[in-house]
Chains A and B, each alone.
Chain A
Amino acid sequence: MLFLEGWFWAFAAVAVPVYLLCPNALKLYWLLLACVVFHFHFAGPAGMTPIIILAILTYGAALVSWRLGRWSAAGLVIVLIVGSLTFYKYGQFLRDNTLMLSAAIGVRTPWVINAFKAPAAPLGISFFAFEFIHYLYEVRVHGRPAIRNPFHFAVFAIFFPTLAAGPIKRFPDFVPQLVDLRNPSTAQWWAGIRRIIRGLFKKVVISELCVEYIGIFEKIPHRSAPVVIALAVLQGWRIYFDFAGYSDMAIGLAQTLNFSVPENFNRPYWSTSLQEFWRRWHMSLSSWIRDYIYIPLGGNRVRRGVNLLIAMILCGLWHGAAWNFAAWGVYHGLGLAVESGVRRWSPGLFTDSWLQRVVGWAICYPFVTYGWLLFFYPLETVAKMTRALLVW
């Protein structure tokens, strides 16, 4: 998919060298053209149209808010973006659950709900939505200057290395890089190529090996505790190497064009607390959740536990429209809330001594690993697996 397709490599073999050979003054336009071709190829006109509409509205609303001081424009477009994300990504899920609930309580549902069929979600809509919301929020709430150059905004919106699955960019870090486009040094370029190779290795070799072994363990009819533990560990490695591999490719590709985009992973499985895990796992998403959900909800100041729970449920649902993702979010939210309570009442438990770090890791890693069962399997299957874990 995408980075593994022959078309992508043919595209990159043209897009990157031509970008490097382009005079500096033309690089921006070539880059934009390459981004449009990439987006069109993978998303098609139906996938591009909603994104283009949202991008134009975001660009205009930010300018209006910033220049004229009309804050409602940015707020309105944020609501529209959230609405579009809900419609495309959660429409079918909400409809199915409404029908199930109405059948359970014996209420007739309007024909509109019965007939509703959500269209396929545009490629990368979750990432577009989060980047646009971040941009509008920064302009509206923090008073950052809006992007005036439409070409700069367009490249920020559909930058092809990060278009499909992040890392989620921040415009104050990204847009200044567009002002003076230059080629990377030879060392930087090779570093980017090495990063791409490492990413391919993580994805194509390690993650796929994990998938093979998961298939073997899933075929075992009697899922005893050791089988469940093996499945949980392998799923944890699979998602890490898959996603970290993708992120390496995206970051490396950006590096070959002399762009720096946010990191996504920092050895998360070495974390010694859940809080540390979320500072090291999918960092561009977790920092987004912190800045645009957790802190606006009140952060550490009020109802810390509730805020953590809400933020993590939304984080879980962001990964997909299914109850197991919500359960995964609740699980991590509760874990973080409990850890935060323990931190408050016994700060001495979280020091940097090696013993406490070992104990912390021995609690955190199994906690996170069990969570992958919730992430990957339906809730009924997880219930059976949990029973197997409790009865050896």
Chain B
Amino acid sequence: MVTGDDTPRRADRAWALLRRAGTVLLYGLMLLAVLAMWNTQAPFIYVAF
């Protein structure tokens, strides 16, 4: 049986798009914070290991 209703598929696509946009935004913000606080003098403390 074929139905013309593609609402669930559209909802899935919208949700996937939203998730992707959220991921890009989140990682973009993380990168911004990293660049804002960048400090090459900061040692990795365990290099002494």
Q: Which residues of A line the B interface, CB within 8 A? A: 1-6, 126-127, 164-165, 194, 197-198, 200-201, 203-205, 208-209, 211, 238-239, 242-243, 246, 318-320
Inter-chain contact B34/A1, CB cutoff 8 Å? no
Q: Which residues on the A side are within 8 Å of B47 (C-beta)?
A: 1-2, 164-165
Question: Which of B38, B43, B45 gathers most chain A CB within 10 Å?
Answer: B45
Chain B residues within CB distance 8 Å of chain A: 23, 27, 30-31, 33-34, 37-40, 42-49
Residues in B with CB closer than 8 Å to A209 are 37
A165 contacts B40, C-beta separation under 8 Å = no
With A197-B27, A197-B30, A198-B30 as known contacts, state yes or no: A165 contacts B46, CB within 8 Å: yes
Contact indicator A239/B33 (Cβ below 8 Å): no
A-B contact count (CB 8 A): 68
Can you name the residue of chain A whose Cβ is closest to the Cβ of B43? Answer: A1
Excluding A203-B44, A208-B39, A243-B46, 17 further A-B contacts by CB distance (< 8 Å) are: A2-B47, A4-B42, A6-B40, A165-B47, A197-B27, A197-B34, A200-B34, A201-B34, A204-B33, A204-B37, A204-B39, A204-B42, A242-B44, A243-B45, A246-B44, A318-B49, A319-B46
A204 touches B45 (CB 8 A): no
Q: Does B46 contact A246, Cβ atoms closer than 8 Å? A: yes
The interface residues of chain B lying within 8 Å CB-to-CB of A204 are 33-34, 37-39, 42
Q: Are A126 and B49 in contact (CB under 8 A)?
A: yes
Contact B45 A242 (CB under 8 A): yes
Can you sample 27 A-B contacts with CB below 8 Å? A1-B42, A2-B47, A4-B38, A5-B40, A164-B47, A165-B44, A165-B46, A165-B47, A194-B23, A194-B27, A200-B30, A200-B31, A200-B34, A201-B34, A203-B44, A204-B34, A205-B33, A205-B34, A208-B39, A208-B42, A209-B37, A242-B44, A243-B45, A243-B46, A246-B46, A319-B48, A319-B49
Residue in B closest to A3 when the chains form the complex, CB atoms: B44
Q: Which residue of B lies closest to A211 (CB)?
A: B42
Query: In the complex the two chains form, what is the Cα distance from A328 to B40 in whole Å?
Result: 29
For the complex formed, measure the closest distance between the CB of A121 and the CB atoms of chain B, giving whole angstroms. Answer: 9
Please, which residues of chain B bring their CB within 8 A of the CB of A126? 49
Q: Given the complex of chains A and B, what is the CA–CA distance between A4 and B37 in angstroms?
A: 12
Cβ–Cβ contact B37 & A208, under 8 A: yes
- With a CB–CB cut-off of 8 A, which chain A residues contact B45? 238-239, 242-243
Given contact pairs A197-B30, A200-B34, A205-B33, A320 touches B48 in the complex (Cβ within 8 A): yes
Q: How near does chain A come to B42, taking the closest CB pair, in angstroms?
A: 6
**Chain B nearest Cβ from A216, distance in angstroms:** 17
User: Please, which residues of chain B bring their CB within 8 A of the CB of A5?
Assistant: 40
From B27, B31, B44, B47, name the one whose CB has the most chain A CB atoms within 10 angstroms: B44
* Cross-chain contact A239 with B37 (CB below 8 angstroms): no
When distances are taken between beta carbons in the complex, the residues of chain A under 8 Å from B38 are: 4, 204
Quick one: closest B residue to A320, CB to CB?
B48
Q: Which residues of B contact A319 (CB under 8 A)?
A: 46, 48-49
Across the interface, B31 reaches (CB within 8 A) one of A6, A197, A246, A318, namely A197
Which chain B residues border A243 with CB–CB below 8 Å? 44-46
Bound state CA distance, A318 and B48, in angstroms? Answer: 10
Tell me the bound Cα distance from A200 to B35 in angstroms: 10
